[in-house]
Structure 1
Amino acid sequence: MTNPLLQNNMLPAFSEILPEYVEPALNQVLEQAKLTVNDLMLNIKQPTWETLVLPMEELDASIDRVWSPVSHLNSVMNSDELRVAYNACLPKLSQFGTELGQNEDLYKAYKTLADSSAYTNLDVAQKKVIDNALRDFRLSGVELSQADRDQFKRISQSLTELTAKFEENLMDATHAWKKHVTDEKLLDGLPESTKEMAAQFAKREQLDGWLFTLDFPSYMPVMSYADNRDFREEMYTAFATKASDQGPNAGKWDNTEIMADILKLRHELAQLIGFDNHAERSLVTKMAQSPQQVLDFLNDLATRSKSIAEKEFVELKAFAKEIADMEDLEAWDVTYFSEKLRQQRYSISQEVLKPYFPENKVVMGLFSVVNKLYGLDIKERHDVDVWHKDVRFFDIFDANGELRGQFYLDLYARNHKRGGAWMDECLVRRQTANGIQTPVAFLTCNFSEPVGDKPALFTHD
């Protein structure tokens, strides 16, 4: 069978991507990329946008076309087999990226272009691409001695592997902890929708009663509504101690040493290329001008917020004392009594509002706002290969009916999916030999899934 990662499809064939295809596909595109760079450096006479930058963008795109769907699947449909394939590729990607960033001939070609008259005729965006490339060469250690370059490579590879292990431990620790409940009394205070979802989780694992996990849609309602304080404490402790040397799975997926190693290596890498610390190196590609500017902003924010937060916490403690005769609030009590206080003051709760925010109305309402603000029409397609039955795909059209972008929408939390919410690139918008490539994004969330035949319900916030 042809490797689906090497087919020149407009969109990834997710249902055909198997772990055994990953490493061979990456090996092939990396080898071709090396040959392309060597050929480019041998034959280029006068670097221009067309003879240097566009071929390098095409090279990057060929690697991204293989790695982007693999990296995404590792986050949203993780498995032992995919994880092995993914981790086998990380050192190769790290080595290739560092060697490319330390390629002196390529660096000189970009410098020649930046110093040429052709550069002055480029538009702002093109100049920015070249300036960023030169910056990234320096951040990759191109100006270091050979010994320091080798050290840079070793540190970069170690950081890549440590970061991947950190994420694996966090995912494994999150999905390993489960609370199976058979006594309904323990669920006092929980909304019906939460209990129905927990019953659905239990049924899926062929269990009686209810099943709770550390995924946010399961965790947060317990913190907000569960009357049983011990239940809240148990959930909070498990959530707050994930992947650490504390809590119910202490030491099993412990990230303590990994975090220390990452911090140490980041510091070493930053100093190797002339920065005092990792914060300085990190800000080179960001808007803030210095670590001190960031600290000043945060300290100012804390100064402005602290007195208000302290006042609100005193009020919350008084409220907890009044209704529950509780002297000291623990971390697992704060969200619970905050919700009770909101209900008393405003006669409203997020749970009461949820029926007004079913998934389809929220999503379509969002698209309607986008249309009013920007004149864009967002239309769903059902003929696109996706990685899970709940994933949806949309086209974005401008007022003239021209396709301007596309995106995958993966809304619900599930096993083997990383927590949180994020956007990532599937395909970037760029100039190709055939015209402008349509950009495609991954939009990933971890909302509560539908329960039974009911639609998924969102909270107002």
Structure 2
Amino acid sequence: MNPLLVPMDTLVDYASITPSHVSEAIEQLLAKARAAIDAAANPALAPTWDAVVMPLDDASEPLWRAWSIAGHLNAVVNTPELRDVYNKMLGPISEFSTWVGLHEGLYKQYQRLRQSAEFPTLSPSRRRVIELALRDFKLSGVELQGEARERYAANSDRQSQVSQKFSENVLDATDRWSLVIEDIHRLDGIPEDTLASIKDPSAERWILNLKMPCYLPVIQYAHDRELRRTIYHAYATRASDQGDHTLDNSPLIEESLALRAEESQLLGFQHFADLRLQTRMADSAEEVLDFLRQLAKRAKPFAERDLTELKEFAKNELGLSELHPWDIPYASERLREVRYAYSEDEVKQYFTEPRVLSGLFEVVETLFGVRLTPYKINGWHEDVRAATVENHSGEVLGYLILDLYARSGKQGGAWVDSERSRRKRLSTVQTPVIYLTCNFARPQGERPALLTHDDVITLFHESGHALHALLSEVDEPGVSAFAAVEWDAIELPSQFMENFCWEWQVLQRLTAHIDTQEPLPRELYDRMKAARNFQSGMQTVRQIEFSLFDIQLHNRVQGLSIAEVLTQLDQVREEVAVVRPPSWHRFPHSFSHLFAGGYGAGYYSYKWAEVLSADAFEAFEEAAARSAASAHQAASNLGTLDPETGMRFRREVLAVGGTRPAAESFSAFRGRPPKMDALLRHSGMLEEATR
């Protein structure tokens, strides 16, 4: 039996999936979905929800679940065989998606449904599904005719191929690079657990790679400056003209930008940014640019101050008269150690992965009233583990599947995917299945894995995305969080969760020293807290740089050559950056968010949503301040872990998904529109915060 063809209410046996299962399942499910769409589009059919939308969901859900699983496996256990079959099926899937968007008969059926007598009687969620579908039909070219229609279909198909190849090149360029070190002294300064992870078990040598658990410790801690430069150069030039030309993403970047410009013009928009912003909170590219430049104006003086302090420290204390980009992480870590008397490696000893996970689960239970309980599944790799999400009566609300360690054949970074969404079917509820993927350092021997504090923040970030789906009370998949929440608001729950990683009451739950089992000492926490905004100005302008670069690339009527892309990046850096990388740096060539991750003309979403998340978290700070005056509440020592505010956040933000505009959900929680003040205060970029 094909594991990808099990009923929707059955959990998948991932370990049994083979590449042949992927092609077999996709071909069968595509045929069924096409037949269902043609049946639903029959003009003789009564335009009702039960006759049109429900059969479509019944037929499309199994297809998109199978394809989601195939894409996920291709990202986390990539093999030549799986890659081949995935690419083979990518064409038919892209063609099908385009065909659906261009299906005039189905579009007219939705128009009839919108105008029917039944429409006002439908639930608000179902009415929004229909309205969003009509919007998306128009954005999918359904009103195009003749040659424009054919060109749009070809464009959509090619965009999916370009995106996939870009991603493959980055993965292959990352996996293929290694550096053998036989002199242990060249690795002086690098933490022992990192050295153990890169030690060749068969010889007295160490093999460096470009995965984050290796790259970051080398660039931060290696005393050998030339070694830092070597690994920096390798990482900065991945998938570019500076390395293996068979993996050069230059032509793919050019083609992607040209295709996006053509797509937007075919649909009647001036440029790709205008097209993308039809489904965002921001109304125009000008609004995005104004937002980013306002933020840059506030942040750049702090960034300049950060860099001046770092240069002075590097010159006076490290003997580095000139601070190169490969020196900055190293010098920054030394300055942090001197100024705040701790290192990231020291802090890491308290964050054992089992303790962090159990602490995260406790935080979720306290805030949102649900339990996460370990659950055994047949995963795609031995690293995989799972948990059920249950309410206090034991009802299963969803399944969380975690894959936390870096390895060969697995894409870098951290992300959340949805295998299936919550859906109500008569008296039963289909529960969501969510993947949470990270790339942390593996355990060494019998000792548990150690996470940096940044790793912990990443885990909490991704848990916010997962909770957005797992705590959904949305009955219709078409308005689930990942299907309908505006892209520039989708980061609200994830960035909101990051804030708890700095709270004393939370860190007590997350920490247990690997040797002594003692929680994080208050004195060390105070030093961490004091260092929270260390170089926040530099970090902020770096994110603004990426966001401005993105929106400027897509705020044009035509594509760009790779030389023009690099020139555009230089112009953005001239405007906002304080650190200028060398001319051979090829950042765009591995910028998968833009060219393979769906963030094209949307990278600003991180900073936009950060305003929302900081303001939302301020509600928990306000609750903590109010409760501090109450002897009863003070005795509970929950701080910002306020269950009442947490349940309100769950009810007004997490549970409603995309059933209403994100601005309405935020206002329902906060009682007003968002303000930038909390973000600036949390980042230490208010003048009064620095006095």
Shorter-chain TM-score above 0.5? yes
- Structure 2 counterpart of 1:100: 100
2:218 aligned with 1:225, yes or no? no
TM-score norm. by structure 2 comes to 0.64
- Structure 1 counterpart of 2:274: 280
- Cα gap change, 1:443/1:326 in structure 2, threshold over 3 Å: closer, same or farther? same
Q: For residues 347 and 120 of structure 1, what CA distance do their matches in structure 2 show?
A: 64
- Structure 1 counterpart of 2:361: 367
**Residues 419-430 of structure 1 mapped to structure 2, 5 A cutoff:** 419-430=412-423
Q: For residues 142 and 404 of structure 2, what CA distance do their matches in structure 1 show?
A: 42
- Structure 2 counterpart of 1:323: 317
Q: Which moved more, 1:300-309 or 1:410-419?
A: 300-309
2:428 aligned with 1:432, yes or no? no
SS at match of 2:326: helix
2:175 aligned with 1:175, yes or no? yes
Which of 328, 332, 342 aligns to 2:336? It is 342
- Structure 1 counterpart of 2:232: 236
* Structure 1 spans left out of the alignment, 5+ residues: none
Deviation at 1:431, TM superposition (A): 2.4
**Residues 159-198 of structure 1 mapped to structure 2, 5 A cutoff:** 159-198=159-198
Which of 344, 348, 353 aligns to 1:354? It is 348
CA contact (8 A) 1:12 1:69 kept: no
Q: Which amino acid aligns with 1:328?
A: E
TM-score norm. by structure 1 comes to 0.96
- Structure 1 counterpart of 2:568: none
Q: For residues 44 and 429 of structure 1, what CA distance do their matches in structure 2 show?
A: 31
- Structure 2 counterpart of 1:451: 444
- Structure 1 counterpart of 2:650: none
CA contact (8 A) 2:43 2:109 kept: no
Which of 428, 451, 460 aligns to 2:453? It is 460
- Structure 1 counterpart of 2:583: none
2:403 aligned with 1:410, yes or no? yes
Q: Which amino acid aligns with 2:91?
A: P
SS at match of 1:211: strand
Deviation at 1:445, TM superposition (A): 0.5
Q: For residues 260 and 371 of structure 1, what CA distance do their matches in structure 2 show?
A: 47
Q: For residues 22 and 352 of structure 2, what CA distance do their matches in structure 1 show?
A: 38
Q: For residues 309 and 40 of structure 2, what CA distance do their matches in structure 1 show?
A: 68
Q: For residues 329 and 44 of structure 1, what CA distance do their matches in structure 2 show?
A: 72
SS at match of 1:356: coil
Higher relative contact order (CA 8 A, sep 6+): 2
Q: Which moved more, 1:6-15 or 1:208-217?
A: 6-15
- Structure 1 counterpart of 2:636: none
Q: For residues 395 and 44 of structure 2, what CA distance do their matches in structure 1 show?
A: 37
CA contact (8 A) 2:5 2:62 kept: no
- Structure 1 counterpart of 2:389: 396
- Structure 2 counterpart of 1:125: 125
Q: Deviations over 1:133-188 (max 9, x none)?
A: 11111111110112211101100111010000000000000000011111001011
Q: Which amino acid aligns with 2:212?
A: F
Deviation at 1:291, TM superposition (A): 1.1
- Cα gap change, 1:453/1:44 in structure 2, threshold over 3 Å: closer, same or farther? farther
Deviation at 1:207, TM superposition (A): 4.6
Q: Deviations over 1:211-253 (max 9, x none)?
A: 111011110001110000000000000001110011xx34231
Q: For residues 314 and 43 of structure 1, what CA distance do their matches in structure 2 show?
A: 69
CA contact (8 A) 2:413 2:438 kept: yes
Q: Which amino acid aligns with 1:103?
A: H
- Structure 2 counterpart of 1:87: 87
CA contact (8 A) 2:40 2:56 kept: no
SS at match of 2:323: coil
- Structure 1 counterpart of 2:37: 37
Q: For residues 36 and 322 of structure 1, what CA distance do their matches in structure 2 show?
A: 71
SS at match of 1:364: helix
- Cα gap change, 1:86/1:390 in structure 2, threshold over 3 Å: closer, same or farther? same
Deviation at 1:274, TM superposition (A): 0.7
- Structure 2 counterpart of 1:214: 210
Q: For residues 324 and 415 of structure 1, what CA distance do their matches in structure 2 show?
A: 35
Q: Deviations over 1:373-407 (max 9, x none)?
A: 1110000012x110011111110001222111111
- Structure 1 counterpart of 2:689: none
CA contact (8 A) 1:393 1:406 kept: yes
SS at match of 2:404: strand
Q: How many residues align?
A: 453
Q: Deviations over 1:75-134 (max 9, x none)?
A: 000010111100011110111111111111110110111112211122222111111111
SS at match of 2:238: coil
- Structure 2 counterpart of 1:333: 327
SS at match of 2:398: strand
CA contact (8 A) 1:377 1:399 kept: yes
2:248 aligned with 1:254, yes or no? yes
2:378 aligned with 1:379, yes or no? no
Q: Which amino acid aligns with 2:3?
A: P
SS at match of 1:244: coil
CA contact (8 A) 1:110 1:130 kept: yes
Q: For residues 135 and 23 of structure 1, what CA distance do their matches in structure 2 show?
A: 32
Deviation at 1:459, TM superposition (A): 1.2
Q: Which amino acid aligns with 1:6?
A: L
Q: Which amino acid aligns with 1:407?
A: L
SS at match of 1:378: strand
* Structure 2 spans left out of the alignment, 5+ residues: 455-691
CA contact (8 A) 2:42 2:105 kept: no
CA contact (8 A) 2:4 2:66 kept: yes
Q: Which moved more, 1:2-11 or 1:325-334?
A: 2-11
Q: Deviations over 1:310-335 (max 9, x none)?
A: 11111111111112222211100001
How big is the alpha-carbon RMSD for the aligned residues of Structure 1 and Structure 2? 1.3
Identity of aligned residues (%): 41
Q: For residues 142 and 205 of structure 2, what CA distance do their matches in structure 1 show?
A: 60
2:2 aligned with 1:8, yes or no? no
Deviation at 1:434, TM superposition (A): 6.5
Q: Which amino acid aligns with 2:353?
A: E
- Cα gap change, 1:81/1:344 in structure 2, threshold over 3 Å: closer, same or farther? same
CA contact (8 A) 1:448 1:456 kept: yes
- Cα gap change, 1:344/1:289 in structure 2, threshold over 3 Å: closer, same or farther? same
Q: For residues 41 and 104 of structure 1, what CA distance do their matches in structure 2 show?
A: 8
Q: For residues 194 and 54 of structure 1, what CA distance do their matches in structure 2 show?
A: 52
Deviation at 1:190, TM superposition (A): 1.0
CA contact (8 A) 2:33 2:56 kept: no
- Structure 2 counterpart of 1:137: 137
CA contact (8 A) 1:423 1:442 kept: yes
SS at match of 2:374: strand
- Structure 1 counterpart of 2:28: 28
CA contact (8 A) 1:412 1:445 kept: yes
Deviation at 1:60, TM superposition (A): 1.7
Q: For residues 98 and 195 of structure 1, what CA distance do their matches in structure 2 show?
A: 49
- Structure 1 counterpart of 2:591: none
CA contact (8 A) 2:26 2:63 kept: yes
Deviation at 1:39, TM superposition (A): 2.4
